[in-house]
Amino acid sequence: MVQALQNAHGLKTGAAELLACSFTTVDKFCNQHAECQAVVDHWKKRRKDRAEYKLDEAIERGEPWAIMFTLKNARDREYNDRLEIAARVETVEAYDYGNSIAPLAPRPVGDSLTSGADETNSDGPALGEDAHGG
């Protein structure tokens, strides 16, 4: 398993293909054996180092995309497109909507606050029904 992970540059899918087994088998094995997970971790770090090296080369060549990428991702600088929003959220447990709008839209005299408690004791036709029941 360790050799397959080395040959696959720490990629579990590649190791599974080399061993003719499933990704899940390799993943479970790595979770249970520290030496396998160490190979995966080593290759992840190496891949990131190589990517940073290539980015540095592109910056040295003066490639605008590399310069912008670096500046936009520099958290200690103000060159990014990120907008940070801080908000305070309060939870309302219960809200009496009917009583809160009562001063704005008073109910007609004799109208009940209870649904269906009018003179017909009905909420009206079901949604989508016409006078003929269709």
Domain boundaries, the chain: 2-72
Please tell me which of 85-89, 113-117, 121-125 the model is most confident about, judged by mean pLDDT. 85-89
What predicted TM-score, i.e. pTM, was given to this entire model?
0.53
65-95 pLDDT, tens digit per residue, is 999 888 888 777 666 666 667 777 777 666 6
Helix axes of 23-32 and 34-60: crossing angle, nearest 10 degrees: 110
pLDDT over threshold 70, residue 128: no
18, pLDDT greater than 60: yes
* Contact criterion met (CB below 8 Å) for 15 and 1: yes
